[in-house]
Structure formats: structure tokens, C-alpha cells
């Protein structure tokens, strides 16, 4: 079991690395070259850089993903593909994507896109807060504890 992170816009990378270390799980950060850094990551954390194409990181994550891996992403399309590979998928705000909620999330995304295309305004995401980070950490730890006891 590994943790794969859609890392370009992920605001909880440091939390993921810290918690993964507690559980002795490897982390793979997938991000575009536009986010290149010479910063050395801790042991157990690998960074894979991809081209800047719209879904390049998503495609690489899906190529790497194996059953029971944990994927951290805010992208509903990537979440849907990862669920189809029997991965566990969690949003950076802490909610888990499931086969029960993904269809509704994708439908809402589609309806919002159609509304914007027709000239209507839709609400964007609320600002990310310290409370969101805490909620993510609580739920991420719970997911990892649940996974480690079921293996």
C-alpha cells in the first residue's frame, strides 16, 4: 500500500508526509515541472514530475495506482478512475470518495460546467482553512488506521 498525491495544488502535502511516516507508508507526490523544487524530501517520499498538460499528473497517478493504494486528490475524474482500480481516495478536505458518492459528485461538476458555459456564475470552493487541515488529518489517520487493521 502506497499513498499517491495529486500534488500540484494539494494544500496538505506536509500533513500527508508526517502521517505517512507514522504509519511507515511510502508517499509518491506527482506534480508538474512548473512546481519543480530542489528541496530534498524525507526518506519514504518520492516526487515524480510530469509535463504541464491539463491532466498529465492524473494520467501518471492512474498508471502508477494499484489496488489498495491511497490517492489524495481534489479531482473528481481522477477519483472516479482510482475507485475503478479499487484504490481508496480522499479529498484534501478529508471526505472520502466512494462508489456511492462519486456519480453524484461527477453529475454536480457537469451541471456546474454547463451552467458556466451558458453564462451563469457558480460558486467556487470556500477558502481552505486551518480547520480544514485538522479535519483532513483526523480523517486521513482514521483511513490509514482502518486500512492497517484490515490487512
Residue 115 has pLDDT above 80, yes or no: no
CATH number for domain 3-150, candidates 3.40.50, 1.50.10, 3.40.35, 3.40.720: 3.40.50
Residue 110 has pLDDT above 70, yes or no: no
Domain boundaries, the chain: 3-150
pLDDT grade, residue 147 (50/70/90)? confident
What gap in Å lies between CA 150 and CA 33, rounded to an integer? 37
Residues forming beta bridges with residue 29, ordered by sequence position:
5, 47
Q: So what's the pLDDT on residue 11?
A: 94
Q: Tell which wins on pLDDT, 102 or 34.
A: 102
- Average pLDDT score, the chain: 89
| Max Cα distance, the chain (Å) | 49
Q: So what's the pLDDT on residue 120?
A: 82
Grid cell of 55 as nine digits = 491532466
What gap in Å lies between CA 136 and CA 14, rounded to an integer? 12
Cβ burial 126-142 (10 Å sphere, 16+ → b, else e): eeeeeebbeebbebbee
Mean pLDDT of all residues in 79-103: 91
Q: So what's the pLDDT on residue 100?
A: 85
What gap in Å lies between CA 3 and CA 116, rounded to an integer? 34
Residues 117-146 pLDDT 10s: 888 877 777 888 999 999 999 999 999 998
Amino acid at each position: 500500500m502506497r499513498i499517491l498525491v495529486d500534488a500540484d495544488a494539494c494544500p496538505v502535502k506536509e500533513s500527508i508526509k508526517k502521517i505517512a511516516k507514522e504509519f511507515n507508508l511510502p508517499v509518491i507526490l506527482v506534480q508538474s515541472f512548473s512546481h519543480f523544487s530542489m528541496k530534498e524530501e524525507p526518506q519514504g517520499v518520492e516526487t515524480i514530475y510530469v509535463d504541464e498538460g491539463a491532466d498529465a499528473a492524473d494520467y501518471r497517478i492512474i498508471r502508477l495506482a494499484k489496488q489498495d493504494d491511497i490517492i489524495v486528490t481534489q479531482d473528481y475524474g481522477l477519483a472516479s478512475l482510482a475507485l475503478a482500480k479499487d484504490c481508496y481516495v480522499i479529498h484534501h478536505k478529508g471526505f472520502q470518495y466512494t462508489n456511492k458518492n462519486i456519480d453524484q459528485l461527477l453529475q454536480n461538476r457537469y451541471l456546474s460546467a454547463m451552467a458556466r458555459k451558458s453564462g451563469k456564475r457558480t460558486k467556487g470552493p470556500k477558502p481552505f482553512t486551518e480547520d480544514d487541515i485538522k479535519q483532513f488529518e483526523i480523517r486521513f489517520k482514521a483511513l490509514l488506521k482502518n486500512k492497517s487493521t484490515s490487512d
